[in-house]
Structure 1
């Protein structure tokens, strides 16, 4: 099973490339300085170190709330995502809270972030025909 199949199956429950979770993840990773590693560093600094560690690690993923993500990412990042996708900020943070732990877990099966952003960018680009 390839990365795209795994993301679609495990994270999304299907293979629909129009999924809001995939759209938000693609936009977030493409616009975030440092890709996945930069995003995780910001979340660590934003008070979500335990959650991030669990997502990258091999154990169970700790949950995160929309409010926690909103606080860690800041209103500018959330607002930019919402505007780019034509969604409200609450929808963006709710979708991220539901999908981000599994997405990070799927992209870091060996507990390493190295190379994960490139794989995700290639995979999402294929799904969206870019």
Structure 2
């Protein structure tokens, strides 16, 4: 069974006291570093990292959705179909392979996790320099 299978994933709101980004992401992902590693690699594969990913959403007409993840307000949802439209089939397939699930399931997991990851990488409402490095720093704690 996939580490992401089971009930819908939920990311804690920024205001939930006592739960840091690492705790929340690991709880949402089932405790393993696999999804974090796969998302980090996916972000690293985009030209310009997180900014490149956000530009990909904008190019597909989903700029307002992606910007909501960066802003301080509520995150707008994204569907598995929209994830597949924004990301290449090979990107979704690579993510799926890392998690041991089919591409459609992987797109669904990305639709749940990616807004939350971007949200927590941009706590001040803007993309910081080295946002990908912050995520990689989380992974270093598991090596």
Q: TM-score w.r.t. structure 2 length?
A: 0.74
1:114–1:8: structure 2 CA closer, same or farther, 3 Å change rule? closer
Q: CA deviation at 1:35?
A: 1.4
Sort the Cα spacing of 1:78 and 1:25 in 2 relative to 1 into closer, same or farther, 3 A.
same
How far the C-alpha of 1:17 sits from its partner, in A, is: 5.0
Unmatched 5+ residue regions in structure 2?
Answer: 1-18
1:11 maps to 25
In the alignment, structure 1 residue 111 sits paired with structure 2 residue 129: no
- Distance in 2, Cα, partners of 1:68 & 1:55: 15
Q: Which residue of 2 aligns with 1:88?
A: 102
Match of 2:60 in 1: 46
What is the TM-score of this pair, normalised by structure 1?
0.80
In structure 2, how many angstroms separate the alpha carbons of the residues matched to 1:14 and 1:102? 10
Q: Distance in 1 between matches of 2:52 and 2:140?
A: 20
For the residues of structure 2 that align with 1:63 and 1:15, how far apart are their CA atoms? Answer: 18
Aligned partners of 1:17 and 1:71: how far apart in 2?
Answer: 29
Choose 94-103 or 12-21, whichever is displaced more: 12-21
More helix by share: 1
8 A Cα contact 2:43 2:53, kept in partner: yes
CA RMSD of aligned residues (A): 2.3
Q: Which residue is 1:24 aligned to?
A: 38
Query: Which residue does the alignment assign to 1:69?
Result: 83
Paired with 1:66 and 1:15, the residues of 2 have a C-alpha distance of 17
Q: Deviations over 1:58-106 (max 9, x none)?
A: 0000000111001111212212332344432112111111111111111
Contact 2:60 2:85 (8 Å CA) reproduced: yes
CA distance in 1, matches of 2:88, 2:132: 21
Shift in CA distance, 104/32, structure 1 to aligned 2, threshold 3 Å: same
Cα separation, 2, equivalents of 1:25 and 1:58: 22
